[in-house]
A and B are shown apart, each in its own frame.
Chain A
Amino acid sequence: GAGVSQSPSNKVTEKGKDVELRCDPISGHTALYWYRQSLGQGLEFLIYFQGNSAPDKSGLPSDRFSAERTGGSVSTLTIQRTQQEDSAVYLCASSLYSSVNTEAFFGQGTRLTVV
């Protein structure tokens, strides 16, 4: 597609339920990031995928959070047993990996509300 696509755009879930958030990166982009943004706050790094390398999971806040990237393209962020503090906008970004740094392109985000 022309840009990074995230689905759903909005998700309301009950506390304790599991949710899956999807990210379709720009075709050909080998790097993929997940960030979390709470209302009025900055971007909190969650996880980074680069090609076939082991992902950098250093930003995942707890073992309830996991992510995978299948076939080097689509990524799914899963939050198990959701809590109210998980409510935030979850942003995905992709970039074209090369030896020279390039910018990351962001999707519109998924707004998660845990009630």
Chain B
Amino acid sequence: GESVGLHLPTLSVQEGDNSIINCAYSNSASDYFIWYKQESGKGPQFIIDIRSNMDKRQGQRVTVLLNKTVKHLSLQIAATQPGDSAVYFCAENSGSARQLTFGSGTQLTVLP
């Protein structure tokens, strides 16, 4: 989707609830996807990745779902905590280009 010049989408959740952050990608040749978390004043940090031969992958409190049919990626965070407040970016990589292309990001705010 469009990202340049627009404010980041926001998502507010209550502490303890589950969060779902969505990402649409455009390159059907992309074969590797990553979710990054960026806290204020810091560089993005790796959360979880998934390859295109999978449709689901689980980590600690996080799950990534990949729907290649509609080119959609989601990040689910279980029992969201205040420390989860950050901007979340999805990134895709197509084998031929090798560079990572980032989505526009979503600002997650966890409410007490």
A interface residues (Cβ-Cβ under 8 A, vs B)? 4, 31, 33, 35, 40-45, 48, 50, 56, 91, 93, 97, 101, 103-109
**B100 to A, closest residue via Cβ:** A104
- Cross-chain contact A45 with B101 (CB below 8 angstroms): yes
CB distance B8 to A41 under 8 Å?
yes
Residues in A whose Cβ lies below 8 Å from that of B103: 42
Determine the chain B residues whose CB is within 8 A of the CB of A44 once the complex forms: 4
Q: CA A48 – CA B94 in complex, angstroms?
A: 14
Q: Is the CB of B98 within 8 A of A42?
A: no
With contact pairs A101-B51, A101-B93, A103-B34 given, residues A43 and B99 touching in the complex (Cβ less than 8 Å): no
- A33/B99 in contact, CB under 8 A: yes
- Interface size class on chain B is 20 to 34
**Residues in B whose Cβ lies below 8 Å from that of A56:** 97-99
Q: With A and B bound together, what is the CA distance between A106 and B41 in angstroms?
A: 13
Residue of A45, A48, A50, A108 touching B43 (CB-CB under 8 A): A108
Distance in angstroms between the alpha carbons of A109 and B43 in the assembled complex: 6
Collect the chain B residues with CB atoms within 8 Å of residue A43's CB: 44, 89, 102, 105
Q: Is the CB of B97 within 8 A of A103?
A: no
Chain A residues near B18: list those with CB within 8 A: none
Q: What are 12 A-B residue pairs whose CB atoms fall within 8 Å in the complex?
A: A33-B100, A40-B7, A42-B8, A42-B105, A48-B99, A50-B98, A91-B43, A93-B43, A101-B93, A104-B100, A107-B43, A108-B41
Contacts of B43 in A (CB 8 A): 4, 91, 93, 106-109
Nearest first, the 6 A-B pairs at minimum CB distance are A106-B43, A101-B32, A43-B102, A48-B99, A42-B104, A103-B46
Distance between B26 CB and nearest chain A CB, rounded to angstroms: 14
Inter-subunit contact A45/B44 (CB<8 Å): no
